[in-house]
Amino acid sequence: MHDAFAVIWWSAAGIEPWTISILWSEAVAAEVIVFFLIGPALLDRLGARGAAVLAAAAGVVRWSVAGVTTSVLALSILQPLHGFTFALLHLASMRMMQALVPARLAATGQSIYAFGSGCLTAVLTLLSGIPYAKFGGVAFLPMAILCAVALPLAWLGFADERHRSVDIF
């Protein structure tokens, strides 16, 4: 939803293209900061489960607010959450794959992860056009609902990797 419609939504609200570029850059900068600086420390401290739960919680906040405002100030506060909603979740997923997938199948695991993520993103992007056409920015709210559904799934699905066997296959 965000990648396909945020710029359209913000432009329709009268936000200037240069401001939209700054907002987008802020999200990318946050992603890089989480990947290289904050994320590894959070992952070590919280484990994959805690990091995945934090990412889902950040998504609930991010999309709940993004669905009801086009305030540049609010959006500028929200954009850094991309570092958590994307980068931290990705790092947690990689940590789980490292714990669950034997080294000899790592490339296969990565391929399945990338393919599944890509397919799900494509389907959700296609489907998100329907609520966006009817409701505009309010259509971001179902993303918050998806993140809320992901909270217990992250807790259950990202069990403490320290207690898992590395070679289960």
pLDDT of amino acid 166: 43
pLDDT at 164 over 60: no
pLDDT in tens, 67-125: 899 999 999 999 999 999 999 999 999 998 998 899 999 999 999 999 999 999 999 89
Burial of 4 (0-12, 13-18, 19+ CB in 10 A): middle
Mean residue pLDDT of the chain comes to: 91
Residues 25/83, Cβ–Cβ less than 8 Å: no
Mean per-residue pLDDT for 40-65?
A: 95
pLDDT at 165 over 60: no
Instruction: Give the global pTM.
Output: 0.86
Residues 49/158, Cβ–Cβ less than 8 Å: yes
Task: Return the structure tokens found at 158.
Answer: 């990202």
Rounded to 5 degrees, φ, ψ at 81 are: -65, -15
Burial of 6 (0-12, 13-18, 19+ CB in 10 A): buried
Domains and CATH numbers, the chain: 2-159 (1.20.1250.20)
pLDDT of amino acid 3: 86
pLDDT at 1 over 80: yes
Separation between Cα atoms, residue 43 and residue 70, nearest integer Å: 32
Separation between Cα atoms, residue 147 and residue 53, nearest integer Å: 9
pLDDT at 132 over 90: yes
pLDDT at 30 over 90: yes
pLDDT of amino acid 168: 39
pLDDT of amino acid 103: 92
With bands split at pLDDT 50, 70 and 90, how would you rate the model's confidence at 160? low
